[in-house]
Homo-oligomer: A and B are copies of this chain.
Amino acid sequence: MQSTSQPSSLPSTVAASVAADTSTLSYEQAGVNYDLIDPLKIAAQRAAAATAVSMTGRGFAEVTASRGESAYVLDVGPFYLASIVECLGTKTLVADEMAQLTGRSWYDGIAQDTIAMAINDLITVGATPLVVQAYWAAGGSAWFEDKLRANALVDGWKKACDVCKVAWGGGETPALAGIVEAGRIDLAASCTGIVSPKDRLSLGDHLGAGDAIVLLASSGIHANGLSLARKLVERLPQGYLTEIDPVNHPGLSYGAALLAPTVLYSPVTEALAAAGIRPHYCANITGHGWRKLLRHPIEMTYRIHTVPPVTPVLKFIQEQARQDDHEAYSTLNMGAGFALYVAAEDAERCVEIAKAQGIDAWVAGRLEAGPKRLLIEPLGIEYGSDDLQLR
């Protein structure tokens, strides 16, 4: 997993005077250079894989299939242990600008975003999240002087833990002047959980032709694609205060819409477990957008017949960035934040269970024998295995 970044090079007050730029804005243009990061990632993955031998002969065994998945899984006997650390990314930069523009703190939602980054990845392997640790690295002690903001962060963190029924175990609040920029904060969360009973493990062993793809609604951009979203502000006449849909959502600013907190999906996966439904696989739709649906290494065709409605802020970003559907769906979640791959006969019940948890859901497609590709039929989009190098 990678988060990416690009400083918002103009404050929105300045951005308001910038002439409209009508060219297409891609994710790469927004300042991300994967070529530089990827060799390190590959070296790190190799080195990490080589550490697994330490477990042998001690009653523990790595679940090697979890390497490359969203959380790492270890067999500790009575159940599996799953763990992860996840960074929020640069969404705080939007919150900081919006705080200046609106006079309120947006860090309650930011807290939920940070926890969602960790929880929504951890649950993909079938884990029940149990403990979250907070990592709040500020650019200096002064960050904590803003009591409103600090309290919003604490309150939002607790609320998100309560929604996911996890214990907030503690954490770290370093002041890192010289490393983190003054006035900024680097937020991350680690999460530990267990897969119990062990047949809840959802690493794709049972994934196959005929399985249904159930998509769960997103609330907006979540916490991926923010580099692009921030870059776009330069083009907007009113910056973050630009209304994104005056007709249907009067008063909804771009900034506020971006800051809609990420949906926490663990209440759905826990409700599914309680109902006896065992997803064969799950994908958290984050960076790389819908290409994440192809995440599992299996050679299979994923055919989408039903596309969820696009949330207004994502529609707005797509329009402003002049992206066609092929590019937009390859970058953003476009209204679907999480995918469940389930036995066909469980699909409708998954939708009902998700809705009972307050999260909209759709039976959106199915798996078929065939070359590895994702077909989004209503939109005429196809992604091949070459479009996704995630693992």
A151 touches B43 (CB 8 A): yes
Q: Which residues of B contact A1 (CB under 8 A)?
A: 172
Question: What's the tally of chain A residues with a CB closer than 8 Å to chain B?
Answer: 91
B134 touches A85 (CB 8 A): yes
Chain-B contact segment, one of A141-149, A275-283, A315-323, A341-349: A141-149
A161 touches B51 (CB 8 A): yes
B131 touches A72 (CB 8 A): yes
Given A5-B175, A83-B190, A140-B5: A74 in contact with B44 (beta carbons within 8 A): no
Complex CA gap A90/B137 in Å reads 11
Q: A198 an interface residue at 8 Å Cβ cutoff? A: no
- Near B by CB (< 8 A), chain A positions 186-228 give 186, 188, 190, 192, 194
Complex CA gap A1/B150 in Å reads 17
Q: A22 an interface residue at 8 Å Cβ cutoff? A: no
Chain-B contact segment, one of A32-40, A250-258, A361-369, A376-384: A32-40
Q: A77 an interface residue at 8 Å Cβ cutoff? A: yes
Q: Which residues of B contact A93 (CB under 8 A)?
A: 178-179
- State the Cβ distance, A245 to closest chain B Cβ, in Å: 28
B81 touches A2 (CB 8 A): no
A72 touches B178 (CB 8 A): no
Q: Which residues of B contact A173 (CB under 8 A)?
A: 2, 37, 40-41, 44
Q: A155 an interface residue at 8 Å Cβ cutoff? A: yes
Q: Determine the main DSSP class of A at the interface with B.
A: mixed
A179 touches B180 (CB 8 A): yes
Given A72-B133, A137-B188, A192-B81: A2 in contact with B51 (beta carbons within 8 A): no
Chain-B contact segment, one of A163-171, A291-299, A301-309, A330-338: A163-171
Q: Which residues of B contact A137 (CB under 8 A)?
A: 87, 186, 188
B3 touches A176 (CB 8 A): yes
- State the Cβ distance, A295 to closest chain B Cβ, in Å: 14
Q: A62 an interface residue at 8 Å Cβ cutoff? A: yes
- State the Cβ distance, A57 to closest chain B Cβ, in Å: 10
A168 touches B47 (CB 8 A): yes
Given A175-B5, A178-B6: A47 in contact with B155 (beta carbons within 8 A): yes
Complex CA gap A33/B174 in Å reads 11
25 A/B residue pairs, CB under 8 Å, sorted by A: A2-B172, A5-B140, A32-B141, A36-B144, A37-B175, A39-B144, A39-B147, A44-B171, A45-B170, A48-B134, A50-B158, A51-B162, A52-B167, A54-B162, A55-B130, A72-B133, A74-B130, A76-B79, A81-B194, A85-B190, A87-B135, A90-B178, A93-B179, A179-B180, A180-B181
Interface of A toward B, CB cutoff 8 Å = 1-8, 31-34, 36-37, 39-41, 43-45, 47-48, 50-52, 54-55, 58, 60, 62, 67, 72, 74, 76-79, 81, 83-87, 89-90, 92-93, 130-131, 133-135, 137, 140-142, 144-145, 147, 150-151, 154-155, 157-158, 161-162, 165-181, 184-186, 188, 190, 192, 194
